[in-house]
Amino acid sequence: MEIKTVIEVQGYTDQPGLFCTDAIMVSSEELDINKIEKEFLNTWGLSSTKGIDISCLNELTTEFIKFLEVKGFSKLKTKKIYFCD
């Protein structure tokens, strides 16, 4: 599959202000990421995610990944490496 559109979906961690990558979604089609985000937010009756509670943002992140899969995106299989104390 030739990859033409890549979206890295990040979510909050338990540490305030820190994010982690939840998924890297890929598509063989050349797509407008801004239109995809707007369409997703519209389905939830939102114009942006500003001011939304972290637990709701985590749920939206999960639902966005599902939304992308319905749109034909595939989840790129990756390995994680953590550097921490």
Largest alpha-carbon pair distance within the chain? Answer: 41
pLDDT 10s digits, 57-67: 889 999 999 99
Sign of CA dihedral 71, 55, 7, 47: positive
- Note whether residue 26 is domain-resident: yes
Number of folded domains in the chain? 1
Kindly provide the residue ranges of all beta strands, DSSP E only, lying in the chain, ordered along the sequence: 5-12, 19-27, 74-75
Say if residue 19's pLDDT is above 90: no
User: What percentage of the chain has pLDDT greater than the value 70?
Assistant: 99
- Residue 85 in domain: no
**Assigned domain for 68 exists:** yes
SS3 69: helix
Domain assignment present for 41? yes
Domain assignment present for 10? yes
> Is 11 domain-assigned?
yes
Full residue range of the structural domain in which residue 17 is found: 5-75
Mean pLDDT in the chain? Answer: 89
pLDDT of res. 85: 63
Query: Would you say residue 82 lies in a domain?
Result: no
The pLDDT tens digits for 26-67 are 999 999 999 999 999 999 999 999 988 888 888 999 999 999
